[in-house]
Structure 1
Amino acid sequence: MILPSISKGLLSVNSLLKTSNKPIVRPFWHWLNHVWNEYDPKRVEEVGPNRACAEWLLKCGAHVKFKNWGSYIVDFNKMPPGSFEAFKIEEIRAENACIMARGFEYFNGLKDVKSVKFINCELIDDTALAKLSYLRSSLEDLQLVFLPSVTDLGLTYLYLLENLKDLYLNYLPNVKDEKLAEKLLREKLPKCKVEFLQNPDEIKK
């Protein structure tokens, strides 16, 4: 499946910018982000939850790793060929990606995701973290780094992830009481190693 080109649309927007003083760039990208994050149940039915989720993530700039399939896939057009039922998402890394809560519906039905890393994703908010509960049966490792739309409330939804073994939080500027948040996470997830830093220069690999 080849992604439709939007280069002509971008060119026309750039041309318009040269002749207009109106701030249209942000509305355009806001609209495009919503389009890319639109949940498509028909696509899930056609290709299964894992491939549909991978298509959404790659389209939005995130990377995915399938079980028994080498390294992370970063190119939408280089997903494994063959039966979609043979490939299950095991790891997700979203850095500077435009994923948002409405797209997190694609996590519903995934049973093999063990590791999720969200780094510098400004559109991930409390609602998005609530929908991580779709992965509660398999998720073991979670990293949240510089997510400016996440608040103290959003972190309480992580209590649902009872199988977590490693939780790494760093530089969440709208979490107002990180010490209390860390204390409660340790209490609610007693089997999980919890780290909460406020150092954007120290990103766990």
Structure 2
Amino acid sequence: MVMIAMQFLRSTVSRSPITRCETVSKINGRQLWGWINMMFNRVDSARLKLVGPDRLCAEWLLRNGAKAKFVNVPHIQSNYNLLPAENVPIQIEELDGTDSGIMHIGFDHLKGLKCLRKVKLHKCVYVENQALGKLKYVVDTLEELEVSSCRNITDHGLQHLKDLKNLKQLVTYDLPYVKDIQTVEKQLKQTLPNCNMDLKP
């Protein structure tokens, strides 16, 4: 299905000059990519029962171009095909979403994680405010968070972070739709007094 979608998109974006029909095709192509991204981000409940939350979350991350670090494993895992066998237990302690296709519906994969302590969201073009709200699933373990160059995040999204009671470090920058970072920082410091914050819009 993905190959068919890629062939379709290449055929619609490589023609010239652009006609009305081709413009419609390009719009449909973007919609198709959006649909594919949603499918790659949706939680597979049947597989969750089979492999557990950490394995399923790792598959979600790597399938969408993100990276994960497992407990007691020194290297970062970025290749889906090099994941350990399904019968090898893994626990995710770090999530790096840099330049990936993860989107907010995929953050439901965080449910059930017991060791995730660090999350980096950098240049995540599909990450929206709702994704930050879903970090509540790892409220008991999350200690470090970076949100940067994510163009869909607003002041309201950052305010979701106020409930992350164990957060020790928070970094934000290059968030063009955050309009009043000083107010956001003041509000967060009221509920997260032990968190070291470096907040820039």
- Structure 2 length as normaliser, TM-score? 0.90
CA-to-aligned-CA distance 1:60-79 (integer Å, 9 cap, x gap)? 11000100112111111111
Q: Distance in 2 between the 1:57 and 1:42 partners?
A: 18
- Which amino acid in 1 is paired with 2:64? C
SS at match of 1:142: strand
Q: Check 1:146–1:17 CA distance in 2 against 1; reply closer, same or farther (3 A cut).
A: closer
* Paired residues, number: 193
Q: How does 1:42-61 map to 2 (within 5 A)?
A: 42-61=46-65
Matches within 5 A, 1:152-167: 152-167=155-170
In structure 1, stretches of 5+ residues that fail to align are 199-205
Instruction: Name the structure 2 match of 1:139.
Output: 142
In the alignment, what sits opposite 2:177? 174
Mapped contact 2:68–2:78 kept (Cα < 8 A): yes
* TM-score normalized by the length of structure 1: 0.88
Q: Identical aligned pairs, as a percentage?
A: 35
Match of 1:184 in 2: 187
Mapping for residues 31-180 of structure 1, pairs under 5 Å: 31-81=35-85, 83-84=87-88, 86-180=89-183
Distance apart, 1:156 and its partner CA: 1.4
Q: Decide whether the 8 Å contact of 1:139 with 1:161 is kept in 2.
A: yes
Which residue number corresponds to residue 28 of structure 1? Answer: 32
Where structure 2 has 5 or more consecutive residues not aligned to the other structure, the ranges are 16-20
- 1:202 is matched with which residue? none
> C-alpha separation between the residues in 2 aligned to 1:39 and 1:119?
22
C-alpha displacement at 1:15, in angstroms?
2.7
